[in-house]
Amino acid sequence: MVDEAYLKAQIRTVSDWPEPGIQFRDVTTLFENPKAWRSVMDSLIHRYMDVEFDRIGALDARGFLMGSVLSYAMSKPLILFRKKGKLPYNTVAQDYELEYGKATLEVHADTIKKGDKVILVDDLIATGGTLLAAGQLVRQLGGQILEAAAIINLPDLGGSKTLNEAGIPVFSLCEFEGD
Ligand code: AMP
């Protein structure tokens, strides 16, 4: 498992972006560091290597980068949860609230089969609204969520608690206190 202090040191914090009061945890610095990026993805691959699951659900947009590597390395189908209006075929949609604003998440209606076990991935859990919306879409289509995995958890924003209460186990590689 990647060392938490090492991982946190690879993530840039940008204060007051995109709005005053937000501490934005910028993972582009992690993506620019091949050694750190490899240890993040290796940690996730190791975690799910011996787990039986059917699909990886990746969240728009930084979750796509993680989902893509996992899907390739583990030979598992990749599902894209996209922001409204991007998917071309029949979709199901779920509105949700963000730390800063509101949004709608969509997924193709035929992408999850009844009983499919799904692992969700995103870069960061703040309020948990995005992953919860993805979880609701998985359930609406008859699938079940094995776990929601993120690089970063911000526990003080309550997202991991909200997800746990909704029956979605959470896994993260590091945590930042406060917001
Ligand atoms: P939430 O739905 O509140 O858990 O927000 C999670 C989504 O918003 C993730 O896709 C993150 O990329 C993004 N996000 C929310 N808050 C932050 C933050 N403080 N720093 C970086 N990304 C964030």
pLDDT in tens, the chain (179 residues): 999 999 999 999 999 998 898 899 999 999 999 999 999 999 999 999 999 999 999 999 999 999 999 999 999 999 999 999 999 999 999 999 876 679 999 999 999 999 999 999 999 999 999 999 999 999 999 999 999 999 999 999 999 999 999 999 999 999 999 87
Q: What is the pLDDT of residue 100?
A: 64
Q: Phi, psi (5° rounding) for residue 59?
A: -100, 135
Residue 114, SS3 per DSSP: coil
Q: Phi, psi (5° rounding) for residue 25?
A: -90, 105
CA distance 163 to 153: 12
Instruction: Give residue 47 CA to ligand 1 midpoint distance, Å.
Output: 23
Q: What is the pLDDT of residue 178?
A: 84
Instruction: Give residue 155 CA to ligand 1 midpoint distance, Å.
Output: 12
Return the amino acid letter for 95: D
Q: Phi, psi (5° rounding) for residue 117?
A: -95, 120
Q: What is the pLDDT of residue 99?
A: 62
**Residues sharing a CB contact under 8 Å with residue 4, sequence separation 6 or more, in sequence order:** 173, 174, 175
Residue 150, SS3 per DSSP: strand
Q: How many other C-beta atoms lie within 10 A of the C-beta of residue 5?
A: 8
Q: Measured from the CA of 62, which atom of ligand 1 is nearest?
A: 12
Q: Measured from the CA of 63, which atom of ligand 1 is nearest?
A: 10
Q: What is the pLDDT of residue 132?
A: 98
- Cβ 129 under 6 angstroms from ligand 1: yes
End-to-end CA distance of the chain: 24
Residue 179: alpha-carbon gap to chain centroid: 18
**Cis peptide bond prior to 18, omega within 30° of 0:** yes
Q: Is the pTM of this model over 0.85?
A: yes
- Cβ 126 under 6 angstroms from ligand 1: yes
All domains of the chain, ordered by start, with CATH?
51-175 (3.40.50.2020)
